[in-house]
Each structure stands twice: as C-alpha cells, then as structure tokens.
Amino acid sequence: MCCGKNKYSANIRVYLIPFLILYTIKIYIRWELEILIEKKNALSLDEQDVLKDFRKEFFLPHDKMYMDGNSLGLLSKRAERTLLDSLEDWKTLGIDGWMNGNHPWFTLSEKIGEELSELIGALPDEVMAASSTTVNLHQLVSSFYKPEGKKTKILADELTFPSDIYALQSQLLIKGYNPEDHLIQVASSDGMTLSEEDIISQMTDEVALILLPSVLYRSGQLLDMKRLAKEAHARSIVIGFDLCHSIGAVPHRLSEWGVDFAFWCNYKYLNGGPGSVAGLYVNNRHFGKRPGLAGWFGSDKNTQFDMEHTFVPASSAGAYQIGTPHVLSTAPLIGSLEIFKEAGIERIRAKSLQLTRFLMELVQQELLEFGFVIGNPDEDSRRGGHVALQHKEAARICKSLKELGVIPDFRAPDVIRLAPAALYTSFADVYETVNVLKRIMQEKHYEKYENTREVIA
C-alpha cells in the first residue's frame, strides 16, 4: 500500500508540475499582455490628445512623473519669459516701469484680473490679482460679514483647509463673537466628502455668511456651487467660495450663479510660481461698498496719487486690493495665462477628467488588492482635478514614490493625492505612476521608511 501511494503521488507530480509551470507561464503572459495593452492605450490616448503640444511649454523634471500640480504647478517657458520681462523693465526703466515697459506695473493687477475672469466665468472688472490667499479671505470676510440681530453666525465645514478656519475664527473674534458658538462646521459622514443636503440644512436664519471650498483639498470632491449659491440667497445669506483647488482645472460660472465673492491662489493649476500673487472675485452688485480693509491700492486710480486722506474706492473689484502689488510674483502669471487662453478651460477640463478616469481605472485593475481605496467621487460632475488614494501606509508610500521617480502629495492621515495636470501630464505618465505604485507594493519597498510625513507633506 505504501509503495502504491508513493507511486500514485509520483504520477501526480509528473503531470501536475508541468501543468503548474504552464499555468504560471500563461498567467504571466496574460499579465504582461494586459500591461502592454494598457501601455499601448496610454500611448494612443497621448497621440489623440488635442492639448499634447502644450507639454513642450513646460520645464518637466528629468526622468520623473510630476503628479503634484495641485500643490505647486510647474514653470512654463512663457512664465519665465514674462518674469524676465518685468526684471528687464526694472533694470532699464527703474521707477518708470510703473507706467511704461513690457507690462506696466500700475495696471498689472487689473490686466491679470481680466485674464482670470475667463476661467471663473466673471466679468473682467469683477476679478483682481492681489495679495495672498488668506489676506484676500480676511479682506472679503471683513467686507461681507455683517452680523445683525440674531443673524450672527458663519457657516463653513469640517473638511476645509485649516487656513480658512483660522481666518474665520479671527474675524469672529474681531467682532466680539466666540468662534465655538458662532462658527458652524458642517460634518462629513465619511471623513472625506460633504453632502450638499447637509450643508443646506444648516443654512438657518442665524447664519450671516457662508464660506465653502469649491473642491475639497483632500478628497477632490467638487461641490455644486450653483445649487449652494441659490439656496443661500433664497435665505438672504451671503456666500463665498475658496477656489484654490478648482481654478485652472474646472470651469466656473460665478457671475451667472450669483456667487457673492471668491478667492484663490494662482500657484497650483495656474502655474504662477511659489508664493504667486493670489486672486479675488466680487460680484458687481456689491460694487460701491467700502471694503472692510482699506488700502491705497484699492483707491480709484485716477485719484490715488492725490494723496488725500479721504479714501475713494475703485468702482470695481479693484477696491478690494490693499497694498502695492507684488510685481515679481505677478509677472509669471502673464505668460502662464497666455497658455490657458490658447488651450481653453473647457478642453483642459475634458482632458483632466480623462486623465483622472484613466488613473482610477488603472488603480482598480492593479492596486485594490494591495489595500488602496479611491477616496474621491467617481462621477465626473463631482470630481475636481486630482485622485485621492487612501492607504494606511500612505506617508511611507509617498516617500517610496519620490525615490522611484514619482512626485506625489501626502495629506494626513492616509491620503496620497495624485494630480495629473492637463497641460503637461501625459497618459503615459499616469500609466508609469501606477506601475511604480504596484512595484512598491509588490516589493514592500515602502517598509524602509517610517510612516510619518515630511516637514512639508
């Protein structure tokens, strides 16, 4: 019996081992074929891309896939040129650069505002390039938060960028209100997204002002700004939006929707450079009101240099400027916005959705088995410009990605943000990014790092 068993086992091994080898080879070939198909698909999409020539406009990191355009956009050759133009004006004209030269500085903020207006669906005089993001937020809230009677509260949300909350708390304190009682933050049911219904349910007769993000910075959820503005105004509430994670990636219709005010940075999708001057929007029905924070560059330009102590505000969004514009932090936007004008925000949005859809499909095919969860909305109408991958080892995975040539973005506690920018990211870049992620997980490459963020995440 024993010998018979051994003989039987031996026969099984004779037939089974070749079968397993062939099966393994078949699986491997199929896997390789799937990879080739996806790579071919990526290259085909790049060939069909109507925006592909704009990639040549940018200084791309050598041998790297740059997926962090929603934190800091890349430098374009045109932005470099217009910055150098302004330096040349300073070098050759000195103080006469304010009124002469390539791009006269005195009206530069207005000129940039006109270009920005096309991206947010506003009238040219409703938009201004000015200050920094949080300074503009302070300016706008100080101008539009007018507590009266029982209408004293500000409505925000618990997922918004921290700087917005700090500013709202400060503005409440300045007016003598306790933020713990007067700042309402709409809760999230899943820690990643918000429900418009939940926001609307909090629009009570005690709310004087609403401030919300257009796109949530962690999950990339795009809020229905048109609906929220309509609901706010039906209750006589002023509403404004932080557009930092949508401008340059998503079209807006702020004037048509009746949004009261908005503000944003210009260094993410708009590629204005680190610390680039920010932007603000004020609906023209509010023109003529005195801004909360008056400064001499908010003056009517015809009388600004009269040097009178009576403030005469500009009859446009220019009234909400405060101090002298930061010319060298504004100049790169001249060249950058030339590219946006040529590319068109609708075409940029179409490609952005294609890129993020392709990325999500590859993640679903290749990475879910390693514990990744897609944290952003799936629907195109609810998704901004980036994909949010959740993973318990997110911080150390980001470190591995950087070592292996992919530039991602980490947001605590567990989010890897990947932002393929329509103007310079290829579908092949997206494909290679997922390939690198799969290699990291298969080889456990991330285990060499601690699961803690860098000083700058």
List the binding residues. Answer: 133-134, 161-164, 242, 245, 267, 296, 324
The helix/strand/coil state of 33 is: helix
Residue set of the binding site for pyridoxal 5'-phosphate:
133-134, 161-164, 242, 245, 267, 296, 324
Residue reference for tokens 């949508």: 246
CB 266, CB 272: distance < 8 Å? yes
Contacts of 437 (CB under 8 A, 6+ apart): 366, 367, 397, 401, 406
d(CA 275, CA 332): 11
β pairing state of 238-242 and 261-264: parallel
Nearest C-alpha neighbor of 376 from the set 362, 387, 360: 387
CB 66, CB 419: distance < 8 Å? no
CB 154, CB 207: distance < 8 Å? yes
d(CA 129, CA 318): 9
The helix/strand/coil state of 221 is: strand
Q: Is the dihedral of CA 354, 357, 361, 362 positive or negative?
A: positive
Sheet holding 409-411, edge to edge: 373-374, 387-390, 415-418, 409-411
End-to-end CA distance of the chain: 67
d(CA 143, CA 167): 13
Query: Is there a cis peptide before residue 377, judged by omega within 30 degrees of 0?
Result: no
> For 195, phi and psi rounded to 5 degrees?
-105, 130
d(CA 383, CA 51): 21
d(CA 158, CA 191): 9
Nearest-10 Cα torsion for 256, 260, 265, 266? 30
Tokens of 294: 């008056």
CA–CA distance from 80 to each of 106, 278, 338, 407 (Å)? 21, 18, 12, 22
